[in-house]
């Protein structure tokens, strides 16, 4: 079953390698959360606050990141294939090695 964490306060949470695929995390506060290796495929992350979150090795393919705040997030090696980044804040975000194809 897909998690419903809409508007959840998950600041500084350890969500390493957790399966949140297809989950609703819209408007969630994920600042400084450890999402290393997390499965976020098809997750609804609209307007989520991901500032300074650890997304190393996370799978965000087909995720909805419209309006999400990804400021100062290192997205090196993150799978963003078919992810919707419309209106996302990517200021000071490292996308050099992110998979965008």
**Which stretches in the chain have pLDDT values below 70?**
1, 97
pLDDT (tens digit per residue) in 34-63: 999 999 999 999 999 999 999 999 999 999
Give the pLDDT confidence score for residue 29 in this predicted structure: 98
Give the pLDDT confidence score for residue 14 in this predicted structure: 98
Please state, in angstroms and rounded to a whole number, the distance separating the CA atoms of residues 50 and 25: 11
Token pair of 66, please? 């419209």
Please state, in angstroms and rounded to a whole number, the distance separating the CA atoms of residues 82 and 28: 21
Give the pLDDT confidence score for residue 75 in this predicted structure: 85
pTM, two decimal places: 0.92
What are 66-70's contacts with CB under 8 Å, separation 24+? none
Q: Going along the chain, which residue ranges are E strands? A: none
Give the pLDDT confidence score for residue 1 in this predicted structure: 63
């Amino acid at each position: 079953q897909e998690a419903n964490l809409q508007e959840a306060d998950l600041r500084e949470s350890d969500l390493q390698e957790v399966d949140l695929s297809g989950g609703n995390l819209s408007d969630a506060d994920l600042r400084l959360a450890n999402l290393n290796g997390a499965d976020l495929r098809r997750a609804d992350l609209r307007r989520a606050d991901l500032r300074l979150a650890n997304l190393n090795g996370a799978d965000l393919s087909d995720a909805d990141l419209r309006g999400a705040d990804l400021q100062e997030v290192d997205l090196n090696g993150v799978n963003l294939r078919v992810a919707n980044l419309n209106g996302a804040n990517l200021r000071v975000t490292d996308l050099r090695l992110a998979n965008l194809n």
